[in-house]
Amino acid sequence: MRACIFLLLLLAGASWALVCKQIGGHMKQIDASNGQVYAVDFRGNVFTRRGESWARVPGNLAHVTVGASGVWGAGKDQKFYRLVDGSWAILAGLLMQVDAGGDQIVAGVDRRNDIFCSNKDATVSAASFSTPAYSQIQGKMKYYSCGPQTCWGVNAGGYIYCRLHVHPKACIGSHWQRVSGKFLMVEVGTDGTVYGIGRSGAIFRRVGISKKKPEGTRWVLLHFLGRRFRHVSADLGTLWLVETDGDVVRCQ
């Protein structure tokens, strides 16, 4: 186990010092929300964080997500799942990547990069193969993540877009706002914080986000002394990071 302190430059003229610790595990992807943390390893095994260790969750997935609407996943066969009473229920739809970070909505993309979402009422009640009902969002994205009021997507070319005016009863939002940069992924926390991973594996945070400017103003690089990452998730002031080799890092 190794612990390092990194100075993360978040605002001009100021920096935050977070303690970043490798916590064990060898994961492909991670997601955190409301104090819960789930991850998938390179074999598709699913884990959740309990105290200071990982606990195995039955099932095999390509992608897992946790949020206000529960725990959801996409299988290697693109089947869509929700964790119901400790078991994975197969739901309607074929998705490659899913996200449950919005206000009790769920969203995701399929292998054709088409984007879908389910409003709050349909999401909360989803538990069988005929549910939930979906709305398709105009555009193409390879990765899509939602927060309280906006969703963010990255397309096949790495270009970044913010979906504005997303609501529990209107998960499709209103329109896209192009955002500068070219990333591998963008992840939105349940508190609305936005992080991205550049093409070289560097971590960025979006600053200047406000009600008047929900897409923010600029990206700020977080300095991790040459480390490179494949996945990021943020929750309750904690950053959960997966390095390119699968090592898991927690920053608080």
- pLDDT tens string 228-240: 999 999 999 899 9
Which pLDDT belongs to residue 191? Answer: 87
Percentage of the chain lying above the pLDDT 70 cut = 93
What domains lie within the chain, and their CATH numbers? Answer: 3-251 (2.130.10.30)
Question: In Å, how far are 2, 22, 36, 52, 82 from 25, measured between CA atoms?
Answer: 13, 9, 16, 11, 24
Which pLDDT belongs to residue 252? Answer: 87
Residue 236 region by backbone torsions, left for phi larger than 0, else alpha for psi between -120 and 50, else beta: left
Which pLDDT belongs to residue 7? Answer: 45
- pLDDT tens string 128-152: 999 999 999 999 999 999 999 999 9
Q: What is the pTM of this model?
A: 0.93
Percentage of the chain lying above the pLDDT 90 cut = 87
Name the maximum alpha-carbon separation found in the chain.
53
Give the separation between CA 202 and CA 146, rounded to whole angstroms. Answer: 21
Mean pLDDT (whole number) for 17-35? 91
| Neighbour tally for 160: CB within 10 Å | 24
Q: 71: closest CA among 110, 31, 41, 24?
A: 31
Which pLDDT belongs to residue 190? Answer: 84
Give the separation between CA 2 and CA 248, rounded to whole angstroms. Answer: 11
